[in-house]
Amino acid sequence: MIYDERIYTLKPGKTQEYLEIYAAPGLKLQTSSGGDMVGYFSTEFGPLNQLVHIWRYESLEDRSAKRKELLSRSQWHDYAQRVRPLIQSQENKLLLPAPFSPNP
């Protein structure tokens, strides 16, 4: 099991707009390509204007296949074009659970 943690730092004041665009159509596109969302969060303290989302995959190969499927869809590229101007920076981490970590 691996986890894909993504942190998007948005331009100030753009969080709600991003979430509204993501809710339709981004969420449907991403979950229909087989992504298993663990959670989608916004920051309240610490670095502000951030969205943190975590996705679970069986393996690196599973993640690669599902990302390839998602990126092959023209609707995903249309969605990305709408949100890209709202994003200031992106960070992506692949997380491996420790042997004693519970797997949700």
Whole-model pTM: value is 0.89
At 41-90, the pLDDT tens digits run 999 999 999 999 999 999 999 999 999 999 999 999 999 999 999 999 99
Confirm if 90 and 49 have CB atoms less than 8 A apart: no
pLDDT of res. 104: 57
**Three-class DSSP category at 13:** coil
Structural domains in the chain?
A: 2-95 (3.30.70.100)
- In angstroms, the first-to-last Cα distance of the chain is 10
Q: Which residues pair with 53 in a beta bridge?
A: 6, 40
**46-62: b (≥16 Cβ within 10 Å) or e:** eeebbbebbbbbeeeee
- What does R_g of the chain's alpha carbons equal in angstroms? 14
CA angle 20/89/3 to nearest 5° reads 80
